[in-house]
Amino acid sequence: MKWQPLFAERTTQMRRSTVRELLKVTAQPGMISFAGGIPAPELFPVPEVAQAAANVLQRRGEQALQYGETEGVAELRDWIAARFSRAHFQVRPENVMIVTGSQQALDLIGKVFLNAGDRVLVENPTYLAMLSAWRPMMPAFVPLPSDTDGLCVDALSPLLRAGAKLIYLVPNFQNPQGITLSLPRRRQLLECINGRRLVPSDVAQTFLSAGSGDIPVPCSKLLATGKRATTSHKPQTIIIEDNPYGELRYSGDPLPHLLELDAANGAGGELETCVIHLGTFSKVLIPGLRVGWVIAPAEVIDKLVQAKQAADLHTSTLCQHVILELIRNGVLERQIPRLREAYGLRRDTMLSALAAHFPDGTTWTRPDGGMFLLVTLPPHIEIGFLLKRALARNVAFVPGDDFHLDGQGRNTLRLNFSNATPERIEEGVKRLGGVLVEMLRTG
Ligand SMILES: Cc1ncc(COP(=O)(O)O)c(C=O)c1O
């Protein structure tokens, strides 16, 4: 059988992820891996998870092993709705859908919103697996520049005027750069998308009292119907706020979510916002259960539910119940500060090791949280060769060019600092610095 001609055209946009392929190599014993966005396994609350699973099976076994609602387990949705509600707006359970990791949310959003040719604005570099999820929909990705304050919002206005269906961003400790969108930029972004100024202290009031021409178009009006929404209202662009790392802050003050800055309740209490917010238990608890969530206006959730029904019916009921039990037992609230302390130390260790062992002419970002930083090397360094030499010395990293859209980033590398212990971070950075110095010396 000749399979190649039988694959659908969209599969030409699919390729294996460099990161996931590299993870196979990094699983080898002795390897110091700075490659994946992988939590520290020794910090997983294994006994607590075992206890939670036993409790669930004992107390709610029949329910937890049964098929469930596509939207997710009601108590978990309630908890997320309460956690994200603020004084000026309420998130209701119908605004929440549980997904099989936030990666599934990206996949479903691509299916529900993107037509071929739709313009999608993304930070450059950006999250690789979002590109993998959306490429088969054949959108036109438009790269946006960023600096130490995150996305350069000034670059946005002309691009928005030309039309854009989505803007995707990771505002906190971005993957791969580790940078965070500053509060002024968050406000500026929303002003830009909403087409008018927001007064931070009375966001809710502004929305509630706005005249008809001034009310943001709910993102439900932008579903992939095959034609663009015909409305003169603004905005026409949805913000996808992907926030897997927000709770993992090690320095600086926490910043409000874009959802929080933008959302309000309409007359009937429904959530109105141009932001679709994605979250996950992967980085703050455990990734193996594959439980994440989406917060959006109910009309959008309804469409995402339709897409999810076709994808997997629902996220594992057992996994959702175990997560819920871990929340009820206080494990999540204990785990977050524990991770902040451990990963904060690992970040500091990596930053000091880079300063000590990396040659002049290299620079790197200084994240306030998350799991990554991005190193920029002198332009003539051949990153593929560096990776080969590093792997030979049992150190792995991810070349940065895959995260870039425009062929840039060939002299960058992403380093993860959450997975290896501080001792191994020091050793791995030393080895990597040694390889680099050697390469620079020999030209
Ligand atoms: C920016 C970003 N979004 C989404 C995800 C997917 O996370 P999940 O495990 O919830 O699918 C990751 C995982 O690395 C990520 O870095």
CATH number for 240: 3.40.640.10
Pocket test for ligand 1, best of 175, 284, 414, 418 (most atoms within 8 A of CB): 175
| 1 C-alpha to ligand 1 centroid (Å) | 36
Share of the chain above pLDDT 70, in %: 91
Residues 258 and 403 in one domain: no
CB-CB neighbours of 138 under 10 Å: 15
Residues with beta carbon inside 6 Å of ligand 1?
37, 101-103, 127, 170, 175, 242, 244, 280, 282, 287, 292
pLDDT for 37 equals: 87
> Is 366 part of a structural domain of the chain?
yes
pLDDT of residue 380 exceeding 60: yes
| 103 C-alpha to ligand 1 centroid (Å) | 6
pLDDT for 215 equals: 35
- Give burial (CB, 10 Å; 0-12/13-18/19+) of 392: exposed
**How many CA within 13 A on the CB side of residue 271?**
31
pLDDT of residue 219 exceeding 70: no
Q: Which atom of ligand 1 is nearest to the CA of 103?
A: 11
Residues 101 and 179 in one domain: yes
| 175 C-alpha to ligand 1 centroid (Å) | 9
Residues 198 and 291 in one domain: yes
Of 102, 74, 88, the residue nearest 168 (C-alpha): 102
pLDDT of residue 74 exceeding 90: yes
The domain boundary, picked from 309, 331, 353, lies at 331
> Is 1 part of a structural domain of the chain?
no
Range of the domain at 218: 48-331
pLDDT of residue 112 exceeding 80: yes
Residues 59 and 42 in one domain: no
- Helices 102-113 + 298-311 axis angle, to 10: 100
| Average pLDDT score over residue span 105-113 | 98
Residues 327 and 346 in one domain: no
Q: Hey, whose CA ends up nearest to atom 6 of ligand 1?
A: 103
The tens digit of pLDDT for each residue in 236-253 reads 899 999 999 999 999 999
Give me the residue label for tokens 């930053």.
351
pLDDT for 262 equals: 97
The domain boundary, picked from 307, 331, 355, lies at 331
Strand 398-399 with 412-416, pairing: antiparallel
The tens digit of pLDDT for each residue in 129-160 reads 999 999 999 999 999 999 999 999 998 988 88
pLDDT for 214 equals: 33
Residues 139 and 217 in one domain: yes
What pLDDT band is residue 101 in, cutting at 50, 70 and 90? very high
| 134 C-alpha to ligand 1 centroid (Å) | 14
> Is 2 part of a structural domain of the chain?
no
The tens digit of pLDDT for each residue in 17-26 reads 777 777 777 7
> Is 416 part of a structural domain of the chain?
yes
What separation in angstroms does the CA of 6 have from each of 9, 14, 285?
A: 9, 15, 41
**252: three-class secondary structure by DSSP:** coil
Question: Nearest-5° angle of CA 359, CA 365, CA 366?
Answer: 110
Pocket test for ligand 1, best of 44, 181, 280 (most atoms within 8 A of CB): 280
Residues near 292 by beta carbon (within 8 Å), at least 6 away in sequence: 98, 99, 100, 101, 102, 103, 104, 105, 244, 278, 279, 280, 281, 282
pLDDT of residue 228 exceeding 60: no
Residues 204 and 83 in one domain: yes
Pocket test for ligand 1, best of 281, 282, 289, 418 (most atoms within 8 A of CB): 282
Of 187, 173, 212, the residue nearest 344 (C-alpha): 173
Residues 110 and 212 in one domain: yes
Residues 295 and 398 in one domain: no
pLDDT of residue 232 exceeding 80: no
Residues 261 and 173 in one domain: yes
CATH number (domain holding residue 15): 3.90.1150.10
User: Which tokens sit at 236?
Assistant: 């026409």
- Range with the lowest mean pLDDT among 35-39, 185-189, 323-327? 35-39
pLDDT of residue 221 exceeding 60: no
275-280 sheet: strands from edge to edge: 96-99, 292-295, 275-280, 238-242, 166-169, 119-123, 140-144
Q: In which element (H, E) is residue 272 found?
A: strand 271-272
The domain boundary, picked from 331, 360, 392, lies at 331
Q: Hey, whose CA ends up nearest to atom 16 of ligand 1?
A: 175
> Is 311 part of a structural domain of the chain?
yes
pLDDT for 222 equals: 59
Q: Which atom of ligand 1 is nearest to the CA of 104?
A: 11
Q: Hey, whose CA ends up nearest to atom 14 of ligand 1?
A: 37
pLDDT of residue 440 exceeding 90: no
Whole-number Å distance between alpha carbons of 380 and 369: 30
pLDDT for 202 equals: 37
Q: Which atom of ligand 1 is nearest to the CA of 371?
A: 16
When divided into structural domains, the chain yields a total of 2
Whole-number Å distance between alpha carbons of 372 and 424: 16
